[in-house]
Structure 1
Amino acid sequence: MSTPTIGDVAREAGVSTATVSRALSGSLRVSGATARRVRETATRLGYSGNPIARALRKNATGNVGVLVPSVSNPFFTMLVDEIEKHMVTMGINLYLCTSRDDHDVEAARLASLTQGSVDGILVSPCDAARSGAALAAAQTKLPVVQLDRSADGVDIDWVGLDDADAMRTIIEHLASRGVKRAALVTSSARNSSGRLRTAFAVAAGTQHGITLDSDQIFDGEFSTGWGTEAATRLVSQGDLPDAIICTDDQIAIGVMQELKRQGIRVPGDVLVTGLDDVPHATLIDPPLTTVRQPVGDIAATAVDLLATKLRGEERSIRKISLQGTLVERESTAN
């Protein structure tokens, strides 16, 4: 029989993996009834809340490396925070590195982490096409798990958002608002998430009767600056669509700031959507409709995947997609 995982406990108890982690650590954020149900389920399945700690006691450092493209992007700040919450409850040290969105820097960071400072690595690759070689090399020395983004051509565990479901959810929401034409502001050139979201947005648009013309698909980077620039280009065309779909919240915030500067009303003149549900999504005026990423569950699942590798369990490579949740706010109000 295989060793039970945090995901098994979550399914049996009817809660998220993040809730399981909090309940087993004694967090006050979980109600007494839920915590009891989780503990009883964990006991019945034979799950212990410290799989990484048990594994690391057999290894050298008690440390896990986390490598993300940037901490200036609030999504990665949220993700690292959730990972750290799980690590703290297990008594594990987290070594945080950033690649500065540069695959050469990323390769150097991975090489450094494999020199004995950590026992495993959680990584969000910055470049789908060019991160693979360094990841493959790192995996020959240490257990590696990808999260959020992934690299092409490597057989390495991955957990992240179900991008197809997220974009379908946004398109269906816009269709329900009567949208017929939409612009897309994205970042698909280098990272896997943007590439997938772009393709799935176009496909879902076709399915639901929303036209995304090629001259109104703006491809740049995940940043407010790019959102501002894309909005400027779109407005200069003189033909505003019914909606602007942004493949992350940072882009959407930049778009909305520029539209407001030019006197274009959201949602009165055009609807705007984002993706991630970063804290600033509620602070922008008007608040942003978006898809909330299951950041806690992504973090907990990634930690769990790393734990099985550290225990030396033989299993197939896992690719786990988790669904997000539509959060409707005023930027798409009727």
Structure 2
Amino acid sequence: MAVTLREVAAHAGVSIATASRALSGRRKVSPEIVARVVAAAEQLGYRPNAVAQALREQTTRTVGMVVPSITLPFFPEIVQAVEYELQRSGRELILCDAQYDPRVEERRLRVLVERKVDGLIISPCDMERSRPAVVEAAKAVPLVQLDRYVEGGVSDWVGVDDEIGIGLAVEHVIAGGAKRLAFVGSELTNSSARLRLAAFERGARAGGVQVTDVLLGEFSAAWGQRAAELICTGGRIPDAVICGNDEIAIGMLRGLRAHGLRVPDDVAVTGFDDIGYAELSDPPLTTVRQPREQLAREALRVLAEARTSPGLRRIAVAPQLVVRGTTRPEK
């Protein structure tokens, strides 16, 4: 039979109410008593009734998270950071993959709301088509958009400052001698894709350099390799290619090499995100690092504030340029 809280209290020599407070951590109990109760619970193998606890506290101690695709390397890394922060406070993460389909995304959001999660974190897969579902979910539960967002300012948002990040990459390659730049990114269906292209265009104008190509496809290595082929067969080889994410950049490296071009001697390449593979590419990839741990902490902080203080908060976290082997030294 399951061990009850009454048995834990008796074993620790305290009242049931004191044992409950010691295990929940919601009210002040002396450290000595907390240690006794926790030790008793561990010795007896006590497991609290999650349903009853949720009814008492009006909380499930769960946060739902929906990402565009779990196959994109950036998102498992940000999910890991969010889950780590939640575990530190005794909460759990329920993760859903939208499969880059706003219809699937809508179903995932509805299920999480029905499961009474305490809050939602979402990186919408489409800036426009995801909006109705995000608006409805935000009416039902505190919601924070992370990394990407839908149009219209429907909820709090936490993400990296894409303009600063791309600006750092553009300034770096220009300082290394680049006078002709190309941009390879994703189709403009999400906020990250739009902001990074706009930042590239501003940076190129400010630097007074020529833009040879703007190629838009998807955030994938396959597209990066295909874009490299288009660049190499198009007759206008740039001095540097600014890529919308690291996967595109890694595909670009492979494609340029296949056409006999050396990186960075012939063409410099930059990425965005600093995924785990970036440092392992050949050469190691110069990229813009998204501080995932900081983004996770900020998203959960804003989510907690939203429960007691509704409003539209926009937190842009500064990225960092990580210079490795795919760009030339600044002059």
- TM-score over 0.5 (shorter chain): yes
Which of these residues, 219, 233, 244, is aligned with residue 230 of structure 2?
A: 233
Partner in structure 2 of residue 323 of structure 1: 318
Question: Where in structure 2 are the equivalents of 1:267-282 lying within 5 Å?
Answer: 267-282=264-279
| 208, 214, 217: which one aligns with 1:217 | 214
* Paired residue type of 2:81: E
Is the CA contact 1:59–1:119 (under 8 Å) kept in the aligned structure 2? no
**SS state at 2:326 partner:** helix
1:332 and 2:289 correspond: no
Structure 1 residue ranges, 4+ long, deviating more than 6 angstroms after superposition: none
1:252 aligns with 2:249: yes
* 1:123 maps onto 2:118 in alignment: no
Alpha carbons of 1:175 and 1:204: their partners in 2 closer, same or farther (altered >3 Å)? same
User: Which residue number corresponds to residue 8 of structure 1?
Assistant: none
1:320 is matched by which residue type in structure 2? Answer: I
Q: Structure 1 length normalisation: TM-score? A: 0.80
Cα distance in 1 between the residues matched to 2:120 and 2:230:
40
Post-superposition Cα deviations, 1:197-255, rounded to whole Å, max 9, x if no partner, equal 00110111100112224xx1000110111101111111111221100110100100011
Query: Shift of the alpha carbon at 1:317?
Result: 0.8
Q: TM-score, normalised by structure 2?
A: 0.81
Aligned residues: 277
Correspondence for 1:194: 193
Give CA-to-partner distance per residue, 1:1-34, whole Å, 9 cap, x none: xxxxxxxxxxxxxxxxxxxxxxxxxxxxxxxxxx
Q: 1:156 to 1:167 in 2, by over 3 A?
A: same
The amino acid across from 2:326 in the alignment is S
CA shift digits 1:255-297 (9 cap, x unpaired): 1011112221101110000011001111110001001111111
Matched, 1:65 2:64: yes
Structure 1: runs of 5+ lacking an equivalent:
1-54
RMSD (CA atoms): 1.6
Which amino acid is the alignment partner of residue 170 of structure 2?
A: I
Report the CA distance between 1:117 and its aligned residue. 4.2
Return the structure number with greater relative CO, CA threshold 8 A, min gap 6: 1
Provide closer, same or farther for how the CA distance between residues 253 and 57 of structure 1 changes in structure 2, counting only shifts above 3 A: farther
1:142 equivalent to 2:137? Answer no
Determine what percentage of the aligned residue pairs are the same residue: 42
Q: Are 1:56 and 1:119, in contact at CA under 8 Å, matched by a contact in 2? A: no
Correspondences of 1:1-334 after superposition (within 5 Å): 58-213=57-212, 216-310=213-307, 313-334=308-329
CA distance in 2 between counterparts of 1:111 and 1:197 reads: 31
Match of 1:30 in 2: none
CA distance in 2, matches of 1:155, 1:199: 22
The answer to whether the Cα contact below 8 Å between 1:64 and 1:120 also exists between their aligned partners in 2 is yes
Q: d(CA) in 1 for partners of 2:181 and 2:202?
A: 13
Q: Tell me how far apart the structure 2 counterparts of residues 269 and 172 of structure 1 sit (CA, whole Å).
A: 18
Structure 2 CA distance for aligned equivalents of residues 218 and 315 of structure 1:
40
- Provide Cα deviations, 1:124-170, integer angstroms capped at 9, x if missing partner: 00000111110010111111100000001242000001011111111
> For each residue in 1:73-106, what CA deviation from the matched residue of structure 2 results, as whole angstroms up to 9, or x when unmatched?
1110110010011001011010000101111110
Asked if 2 retains the 8 angstrom alpha-carbon contact of 1:136 and 1:154, the reply is no
Contact 1:132 1:154 in 2 (8 A): no
Structure 2 counterpart of 1:326, which letter?
L
Mark the structure with the bigger radius of gyration. Answer: 2
* Contact 2:155–2:311, Cα closer than 8 Å, also in 1: no
